Structure 1
Amino acid sequence: MSTVSTTPSGVSAPARRDAEATKAAILRAARYLLARHAHADITLKAVAERAGVSPPLILKYFGNKDALFARVMSFDTDTDALLDAPVPELGRHMVRHVLESQVERGADPVLRIAFAPLHGEHGDVLRANFRTQVTDRLAARLDGPDAGLRAEFALATLLGLGVMFGIARGAELRASGIDAIVDRYGPTVQAHLTPA
């Protein structure tokens, strides 16, 4: 059943699709395609079809293909959520964030570094963005020696969990429940975040 709203002139019009949900669907579609194809081979039409929208709607929200993929290749917003906890609780928070993102959205945007094609110029951009927007931001929050190395260890540990849980779909891991995994794996990630 279709919802109908009335315009100021009294003419009936289809209810407007939620703009944020539409943008999120477009970004998910673009991330999905970028994980499987070279940037040059992806058309706005393909993104629109996967997102269930029209190509002009992508242009309305993102301007052009390059602007859309610049957003797709950015980790800034995702990192805000990933690092949104005090450092003593950060390991558990990061584990929970990655697992809940997998369960609720089917993917964690930070994990795309693990399976996106990393060849060519766009691969260089994605790697550079991950380094500055995720690894360096995490390292800047850590006290003690070797903060950069510890940040990389923590992220490697976290990405391994994300791949096993969300991509390899480890049966035992997925049957454990998020709380049990956070309790068991959070300290493993935290061990890299806390100086020895």
Structure 2
Amino acid sequence: MSIVSTPSPGLAADAPARRDAEATKTAILRAARHLLARHAHADITLKAIAERAGVSAPLVLKYFGNKDTLFARVMSFELDATALLDAPLDELGRHMVRHLLVSQRDQGADPILRIVFAPLHGEQGDILRTNFRTQVSERLAARLTGPDAGLRAELAVSTLLGLGVMYGIARGTHLRGADVDDIVERYAPAVQAQLA
């Protein structure tokens, strides 16, 4: 069964008639990430990605060549991890929580939540897991000092994933209705406790 996604209300209509290449690539990647976080890899069509991005399917092929090349980019956490971990260690918990919430609220994209859907993706799920371990968990562990750095990194990321699931998937009404600064103040200490 193929997934045919309808574009978000106003997405295609609001898209500029002429986009620059980077904006188009970003829209395509965002659309593919959105679909990957909701459907099995095998069920996602280039047409669905194009519709969600507000572009034509040939344009997806122009920029990425084929579905496998596109999803190789989507399954990488490299750029997301760079942004997620871009803070001094003593402020990293706050930064990670804020980055996750603002990414979901403002861009409709979560920097790490797609790992939750790895079981849906068969062999591609194994790639997603490997990328997540090396590009997020192990990269964070390498920044930590003291004993059990790997375990502490995984616990910090697990705590962050829980917040991402409740905010982005379960769509907790109280959580989504709260001020981001308030959530950061309440939640960041739990993440930071594993990092310090």
| TM score, norm. by length of structure 2 | 0.86
Partner of 1:44: 46
Letter in structure 2 aligned against 1:178 = V
Correspondence for 1:114 among 109, 113, 116: 116
Question: For residues 121 and 19 of structure 2, what CA distance do their matches in structure 1 show?
Answer: 36
AA paired with 1:100? Answer: V
Shift of 1:36: 3.0
Which runs of 5 or more structure 2 residues have no equivalent in the other structure? 1-15
- Find the counterpart in structure 2 of residue 165 from structure 1: 167
Equivalent position of 2:99 in the other structure:
97
Contact 1:36–1:116 (Cα < 8 Å) also in 2: no
2:141 matched residue in structure 1: 139
List per-residue Cα deviations over 1:164-186 (Å, max 9, x = no partner): 12221222222320111111111
- Of structures 1 and 2, the larger Rg is shown by 1
Matched residues in 2 for 1:114 and 1:37: separation? 12
Helix, strand or coil for the counterpart of 1:109?
A: coil
- The residue identity in structure 1 corresponding to 2:153 is A
CA distance in 2, matches of 1:116, 1:31: 12
> Aligned in 2, Cα 1:181/1:36: closer, same or farther, shift over 3 Å?
closer
**Structure 1 residues without counterparts, runs of 5 or longer:** 1-13
Give the ranges of 4+ consecutive aligned residues of structure 1 lying more than 3 Å apart after TM superposition: 115-119
Structure 1 residue 116, shift from structure 2 partner: 4.7
Task: Tell me, in whole angstroms, the C-alpha distance in 2 between the residues paired with 1:49 and 1:41.
Answer: 15
Secondary structure of the corresponding residue to residue 173 of structure 1: helix
CA distance in 2, matches of 1:185, 1:17: 38
RMSD value, Cα? 1.6
Measure how far apart 1:117 and its partner are.
4.2
Q: What percentage of residue pairs aligned between the two structures are identical? A: 77
Question: How big is the shift at 1:35?
Answer: 2.5
Give the Cα separation in 2 of the matches to 1:171 and 1:46: 29
**Structure 1 residues 71-90: aligned runs within 5 Å:** 71-90=73-92
